[in-house]
Amino acid sequence: MERALLAVDPTLAVIDEARELHADLLVTHHPLLLRGVHSVATTSAKGASVTGLVVGDIALYVAHTNADVAAAGVAEALAAAAGLQDTRPLAVVEDQPLGRVGRLASPTTLGAFATALYAVLPPAAGGLRVAGPADAPVETVAVLGGAGDDQLDAVRASGADVYVTADLRHHPALEAREEARGGAPYLVDAGHWSSEAVWLTTLRDALGAALRLDIDISTVRTDPWTFTVGAENLGGNA
């Protein structure tokens, strides 16, 4: 094995890229098959993906929930991108640490924090969605890469001023803001892909230190969203 490609998702385009690079290994965060299938015929995208891996002689390794809880995993990478210090787990689920809570080097505002975070995360078409006033004070931050609205109770218990995660659905987000009575914790939806793609650099560095491989990060942006229309700033300037 001489070359590896790292990506968030093992899509057809990513597999094509791996084949073009003559990669022997594709490491992704998300599985190829999230649900069971009855066929891998090439008439389906999943089947064509499996065939592409086989024909290209490419092994696929998936680091999903294990990377979510790893010491140098997705949560730690997102916490580092957010500039957090003195981090601790947001929650412990089945004896495994989930997410991170930490403090910023110095207090700031919600708007300034969101702007700084946007500048360091892999860009997404939707940018960052923020719930809360732009001038609200922020110092303690909770983060959880990927879908995180099932940990809103843990965020409240942590005392965080703001929660950075993704895939925040209407009702959980609305209820969280109602419970906060307009105060903390505020919410930042960074987008699923962006909040996890930030980990790929950490993964590349770790694998590079442990293995004698040529390691590339995929240039394919697997976030399914491509543009937005009519986005409005309803809470003041950032």
Q: Can you give the pLDDT at residue 34?
A: 86
Half-sphere exposure of 21 (CA within 13 A, CB side): 24
Average confidence score pLDDT of the chain: 96
* Dist CA 221 CA 38 (whole Å): 28
Say yes or no: do domains 3-62+196-217 and 67-190 share a fold. Answer: yes
Domain 3-62+196-217 architecture: 3-Layer(aba) Sandwich (3.40)
Cβ partners under 8 Å of residue 32, min gap 6: 10, 46, 49, 50, 60, 62
End-to-end CA gap in the chain? 47
Q: Can you give the pLDDT at residue 232?
A: 80
Q: Can you give the pLDDT at residue 238?
A: 52
CA distances from 188 to 36, 106, 107, 184 (A): 33, 19, 17, 12
| pLDDT over 70, % of the chain | 98
Per-domain boundaries in the chain:
3-62+196-217, 67-190
Q: Can you give the pLDDT at residue 236?
A: 54
The reply, when asked if residue 150 is annotated as ligand binding, is no
The reply, when asked if residue 196 is annotated as ligand binding, is yes
The reply, when asked if residue 171 is annotated as ligand binding, is no
| DSSP, residue by residue, 200-211 | HHHHHHHHHHHS
Q: Can you give the pLDDT at residue 237?
A: 52
The reported pTM is 0.94
CATH class name, domain 67-190:
alpha beta
Q: Can you give the pLDDT at residue 37?
A: 86
Q: Can you give the pLDDT at residue 234?
A: 77
Q: Give residue-wise pLDDT tens across range 133-192.
A: 999 999 999 999 999 999 999 999 999 999 999 999 999 999 999 999 999 999 999 999
pLDDT < 50 positions in the chain: none
